[in-house]
Amino acid sequence: MSEKKSKTPKKEVSFLNIDGTQYKTRLTGKFENRTVWDKPDDKKLLSFIPGTIIKVFVEKGQKVKKGEKVVILEAMKMQNKILISRDGVIKQVYVKEGQTLPKGGLILELK
């Protein structure tokens, strides 16, 4: 395990604010490395599961309608038809056929 990922309590003392009071305390690696929340952007289509793109149906500049099939993402031996959730014009397609994607990987973006 690399040092950065280590989840042992840090020895140095920090502060934590709870209800307006600053407490002198140690922070854990898990706390310090927690995922910072971003407001989801509905113009970006992300993969909901890790897998492989086996088919891309759309290209840059193309108009798409809500519910239109844009890619097929194969994951866990299942071919998932990925549909677009709103009307729009494709700004960029970020995946190619055969490409593997992690969960939350960017597939395409609408203008």
- Binding segment (CB under 8 A) for other proteins, from list 15-23, 60-68, 80-88, 90-98: 15-23
Query: Residue from 3, 4, 20, 40 that binds other proteins (CB under 8 A)?
Result: 20
The answer to whether 87 and 64 are in contact (CB under 8 A) is yes
Query: Residue from 67, 92, 100, 104 that binds other proteins (CB under 8 A)?
Result: 100
Cα distances (Å, whole numbers) of residue 15 to 8, 29, 90, 107: 17, 14, 46, 40
The answer to whether 73 and 47 are in contact (CB under 8 A) is yes
Q: Which residues bind other proteins (CB under 8 A)?
A: 1, 5-9, 13, 16, 18-28, 30-31, 34-37, 50-51, 75-76, 100, 102
